[in-house]
Every structure is written in C-alpha cells, then in structure tokens.
Chains A and B, each alone.
Chain A
Amino acid sequence: MIFKKLARQFVAPVAAATLALGASFSASADDKEIVLGGSIPMTGPFAFAGIQFDRGLKDYVEWINAQGGIEGHRLRYVGEDTGYQQDQSVAVFRRITSRENVNFYFGDSTAFQQAINRELDRRDILMTGASFASELNNPDQYPLQFLLGPDYSEQVGILLRHIADESPGARVALIHSDTEFGRDPIAFGRNMAEQLGLTVAATIVTPPGAADISAAALELRRARPDYAIFHGYVLSPIPDFIQRARQMGMDTRFMGTYYTMDQGIINEMGEAADGFMGVMPYRYYYDEEGPAPIMDAIRELHDEYQSTTYIQGWMTGVLITKIAGETIRAGKELTGRNMRETLDSLRDIDTGGIMGVPANFLGNSIPIGRIYRADVSKGQMVPVSDWIILD
C-alpha cells in the first residue's frame, strides 16, 4: 500500500521528468535547430533586468517558432541564473555548452563577456548580452561579440548631440557612479562635449546607490549646469539629486542612459521624474508611431506594459534571426565566425520597429537612439527628438 502510494507520488513524477529530459536530449540532437544559451542574472542586483531578458527571450523564441522558425530551423533558448556573479556566469556557460551545441549566447555582464571571450573563439559561438560597455565595442579584440544598441559612450554621445542641437554652447554636468559601469563613457563624453562646443561644468562621482548626496548636490549647485547627465545608476540617487536641485531653485534638465530609462524606474522616481529625459535605443511598449510588426506582436501577446529590458530580449531574437537567417541562406554553417561575417555584411537591418530607423552596425554596436522625456501627467515617456544616428 505504502509502496503504491510512493510509486504514485514519487516514481511517476521521476518518470515524467526522465521522459521530458529524454525529449529535450532528442530535441538537441535535431540538426535543424539553433541554440541560444544564456547566463541570465535572475537573482542578485541585476535581477530587475535579468528576469525581463529571460521573459523576452522565451516569448520571442515561442513567437518565431510559431512563424516557422529561422529558415526552417527551430530556435531553442537555454538560460540559467547567475546571480550576476562572474564565476557563476562562467559556470553556467560551461554547463550549457557541455550539454548543448550552442550557436548564440547571451551574457549578463561586462566582466563575464570579457572573461569568456577566448572561449567564444575556441567554441566558435557568437555572443551578445546585457552589457553596453564601450570596451566591448572593439571588433579586433572582441570579434565574436556584438551589442544590442549603442555602447555607453555612444549613449552619452547621443545625449550630447541632442543638447548641442537644442542649446548650443550649453553647460553640462556628468554625474556617474564610481563603478566600471559608471566610469565607462566619461572620458569620451568630456571629449565629445568639447567637440560639440559644450562646456563640461562638472564631473561628479558618487558611490553607486549613494544614500547621502549632500556634498555632490552642492557641487552641482556650484557648477550651475544647464543639463546633467546621470550614468552608472539604475534609480538611486537620481530622484534625490533632482529634488534637491529643485529645492535650490536650479533649472537644470536631468538626463539618463539606457538602464535608467525604463518606465518602471521612471514611475519609481515619482514627481521628480517629470521632465526627466534620456536616451533609448528601442521604442517603448506604448509607442505606436509608424509600422512596427515586432512591437505589434509584443502588444498582441501582452496587453499591459512591457519593460524595455523585455524588449531588449526581443531585439536579441530579431538580430539573431537576421544573422542566422542570412548565414543559412548563404549556405554557410552556423559558426561564430561565419555569422560574424554575415553581421558585418548586414545593411539597414529591419528590426520590426523596435528601432525607429534601419539599423547598421558600427564596429560591434548599433549607435542609434532617441531622446524621450517623462510626462508624468500622461504617465508615459514621450519622444522629444528624432532617431539620432552617431557616425
């Protein structure tokens, strides 16, 4: 009796699991399959984005397979949590690549993408990921990696280009966290500001997520910039900076880069968000301007707002589809090097409306973005510039 009960409660699920595993192994043996592996930060400090990458990638894979796959090949996604730790990211890479014949890989951080670079070369895998680090935008050193938009320097460059167009000769402050992420675009930003005839009134460094920004806020007041660009933060201490600036009667316009610009983050800023601007390489979920079949597909799938990092997951899928599709059409094997050649040959990539203009790679990045502004009364980010392409 007990045995039978055990059999029902334990043996049956084990058998089901074994069958499912068997099914997944037999699926992996299918030649007509493209595998996308992923070291995904579903826990840890970057989980807010990692969970959305995971959802976006899964939804895209389901969607493209429902459309017939990529040139008749089924796309399969295998992602695992890394906790946003470099050694775990590498462990997940090793675990997935030891089981699967991986064609593409999604990395979770600059440190991981740097560390795994040599292994990509050995295994001939093409990688993209969460990082927009300028360091990775170097095809000589990172030939098997590409970014899903403009690198951080280019993001600041797009903001500066907008400022120079809007207010020639304006004074700009660069406020960044004291991290690899925060420091990334600062030297480039200072140079570009100078070239555009802008004045860098101050460069202010704070710890990431700093709680007390009194001294930094006073430094900002002394500099009296027309614009202040935040980089290297997700939320804190941006709202505090803005509120203090307003209390001090400053009319500085505040701006942010990609990871600060999601609607959810802007909502968390509360009243301080009104008028906050920033660069965004992708359309927002509710931006229905122009034909955008991929954005329509996302809206059809979900009738509530989807974050920009979720859309980044779809952008990964769209670029993979283009690169793999062209490589297959050219009759080449889906190796990293072949796909890199394809990537270099792609022109005017149609991202299905995720980007508002045809995309072109420049090095490893796609230096395209648009300036959006938070409109608290509408509860939305509204575009305030055309799509800006850096060359």
Chain B
Amino acid sequence: MRIGSPKETYIADEALFRTRTQWMWFGILLAMLAIYPFVANMYWIFLLCLISINIISTTGLNILTGYTGQVSLGQAAFMGVGAYTVAWLDNNTGSPFFINLLAGAGMATAIGLIAGLPSLRVKGLYLAIATIGASFILQFIFINWESVTRGTRGINIDPPRVLGTELDNPDTFYWLVVPIMVVMVILAANLFRTRIGRAFIAIRDRDISASVLGINLPFYKLMSFGIASFYAGMAGGLYAYFFGAINPESFPLLMSIFFLAAIIVGGMGTILGSILGAIFMTLTPEVLRYGVDFASPFIDNPSQILSPLRTAVFGAVIVGFLLFEPHGLAEIWRRIRRFFHLWPFRT
C-alpha cells in the first residue's frame, strides 16, 4: 500500500516516474521486452513489431489530436510519405537505414507542416476534412509520380542491415523497432514536461485563452503538426522496412481512422492511452481468431461463419468503449492502479 507521494520540488512534480515502485515496474517492462523475442514464437514477435509501429504513429496522432486538439485524418498519408522516402533512398542511394528513417521522418515533417497550414484558420470537423484533402493529394502523388513511387506497381525495399546482419525477420527487426518505439514514447512523454507541451495543452483547452497568455498559436499548432508527422514518418519508414514492399494502397484513409480510433479507445491526451490503444486495436482482431480456433471442433465451417462475426465483435467492442469508458483504457488502468495503491483497503 502506498500512502503518499510527496512532491517537495518542482522537479519531483514534473518527473515521469515519481516513485521507486514506478521505476521498478518500468525496469521490469524493459526486461520483459528484452526477453520477449527469446520466448515468443515468430507470429507473436511479428505482432509486437507491428504494435510498436502502430504505437509510434498513434503517439504522434495523440500529440496532435489528444494534446493539441487538432483533429487529423492524415496520419496514414504522412506515414506514406515516410515510407516512400525510405523506399526511394533505399533503392537509389544505398544510404544507411538510420539516415533513411530520419530522412523519411524529416520529409513527413515538412509535408505535415504544409498540410497543417489550414489549422491556422479552421478547427474541429473543418480541419479533419482539410486533412482528408491532404491525404487525397498525397495519394494522388503516390500513384502518379511514377519515377519515384513506381505508381501502382509499388516498390520493394531491402531489409535494413546492421553490422552486416540483415534485419529481415521479425526476430531481428524487433531489435530495431522496439528500441525506437521506446525512445519515441519517452520523448513524447517528456515533451509534456516542457513549455512546448504545456502550450499544446493550453491550445487544446482554450485557444483564445492560450493566445492571451502569450502562446503563439500559429507557431505551436504547426509545431504540433510537424511533430505528429515526424512520428508518422518514422512509423511509415519502419513499416516499409518491415513489410519489404509498399504501394499506394498500403496507406488508405481507413488506416488514419484506425489511428484515430486507437487514441479514442486508448485515451486522448495521455501517452499511456496511445500505447494501450495501439495494442488494443492491433491485438483484438488477432485475439478474436482464437475464438474461431476454439469454436472449430463444434461448428461446421467455423472460419466462414465466425470471421464476419469477429469483425462485428471488434466493432461492438469499440462502440462499447465509447459508451461505457469514454476516457479510454488509460482511465481503466488508472482505476486499477488506484485500487492497488490502497489495497487491501477499499478506495
């Protein structure tokens, strides 16, 4: 039972982990991530790699939508910019993968800053529509700029190499994507200990008040778009390396909706929400497959009968979250923590 967490300094108040217990749990989490590839099979390692990519992109969108209040449906298209930049560099310059990834993220940032310009004039649904417009323009470029994107035929990408070793399988790629994910999540968490992060939150809560307090709205709104796009670009670059082939249909509008759903289900405006949302959205359809497996002995043709049901259950679970836990999985997590803080006493 924890009876208190006194914050005697401003630094202590801003700390990411405020107690030794939290540091201990963080250490255990890192240790588990390090052990994971040695105990899990290739399918589960694949899923954790995919979850890591989705966490990076979801975190970026949560910075923009959850923390700054700028609704965007362009996250998948910005991922596409990162992915195509990485693919082009990989095929044409042979530059090292980390340069390619940074260039992909940088290019997505630049495009994100341009796509974010409408946010200076419009917000809410209007901004969402403007970002859909940006997605369509980028999709058009992916299809028609054949000399760079190979059009609808798509591009194949060689796996990244580290010290002569190809990271061409989930169990090797894991050591690239998971550390990047951890670093990017920590960077995002730290962002909200700074003036920039607090400015984002102020803009979300009341932009006029933020402006009165001296926050430069255009500057910070665009910065938020830039950071979200950087995250998307990095996720897109990793996606390109992970799957080894991309085409314009790899980054559909539905994918942006997936990320938006992830931050809503996970919890808007919390880093933990991004992580839990991405895990939930990626893993639930996969876990529901086990329901199909389990029903196999009892139902004739289970895959044909239960596969559509699996999709419906997934949709129902999302609707259920919106109705019964609008603050998302992060709030459930907080309640569980509160319970154990005072355990065995009732809250």
Contacts and interface: CB of A to CB of B under 8 A. Distances in A.
A106 to B, nearest CB: 13
A117 B245 contact: yes
Given A42-B308, A43-B311, A114 B247 contact: yes
Contact of A17 (B169, B294, B301): B294
A42 B249 CA distance: 19
Interface residues of A, number: 44
Given A97-B42, A98-B42, A83 B311 contact: yes
A110 to B, nearest CB: 8
Interface string B249-278: 110000000000000000000000000000
Contacts of B243: 86-87, 90, 115
A179 B249 contact: yes
A194 interface: no
B95 to A, nearest CB: 20
Given A54-B303, A122-B169, A114 B289 contact: no
Contact of B143 (A94, A117, A178, A184): A178
A184 B289 CA distance: 33
A321 B289 CA distance: 29
Q: Is the interface of A mostly helix, strand, loop or mixed?
A: helix
Interface string A38-53: 0010111001000100
Interface string B292-318: 111011100101100110110000000
A16 interface: yes
Contact of B297 (A17, A98, A99): A17
B160 to A, nearest CB: 13
Given A87-B50, A88-B285, A114 B154 contact: yes
Interface in B35-71: 41-43, 46-47, 50
Interface residues of B, number: 39
A244 interface: no
Contacts of B50: 87, 91
A42 B307 contact: yes
B310 A180 contact: no
Contacts of B244: 115, 117-118
A24 to B, nearest CB: 9
Q: Is the interface of B mostly helix, strand, loop or mixed?
A: helix
A99 B293 CA distance: 13
A122 B168 contact: yes
A231 to B, nearest CB: 12
Interface in A13-39: 13, 16-17, 19-21
A39 to B, nearest CB: 12
A122 B151 CA distance: 27
A262 B294 CA distance: 34
A44 B169 CA distance: 28
A97 B159 CA distance: 20
A235 interface: no
Nearest to A18: B297
B286 A51 contact: no
A42 B243 CA distance: 22
Contacts of A16: 297-298
Given A20-B297, A111-B250, A179-B249, A94 B43 contact: yes
Given A111-B250, A179-B152, A90 B303 contact: no
A253 interface: no
Interface centre among A54, A79, A81, A184 (most CB of B within 10 A): A81
Given A111-B247, A117-B245, A98 B296 contact: no
A95 interface: yes
Nearest to A24: B296
A335 to B, nearest CB: 18
Nearest to B169: A122
A135 B297 contact: no
Contacts of A180: 152-154, 247-249
A141 to B, nearest CB: 8
22 contacts: A17-B296, A20-B296, A20-B297, A21-B293, A42-B304, A43-B310, A81-B310, A83-B285, A83-B311, A86-B250, A90-B243, A95-B289, A98-B43, A114-B245, A115-B243, A115-B244, A115-B245, A179-B152, A179-B249, A180-B153, A180-B247, A183-B152
Q: Give the 6 A-B residue pairs with the shortest CB-CB distance, closest first.
A: A81-B307, A180-B152, A20-B297, A114-B245, A42-B307, A98-B43
Interface of A: 13, 16-17, 19-21, 40, 42-44, 47, 51, 54-55, 58, 79-81, 83, 86-88, 90-91, 94-95, 97-99, 110-111, 114-115, 117-119, 122, 135, 141, 178-180, 183-184
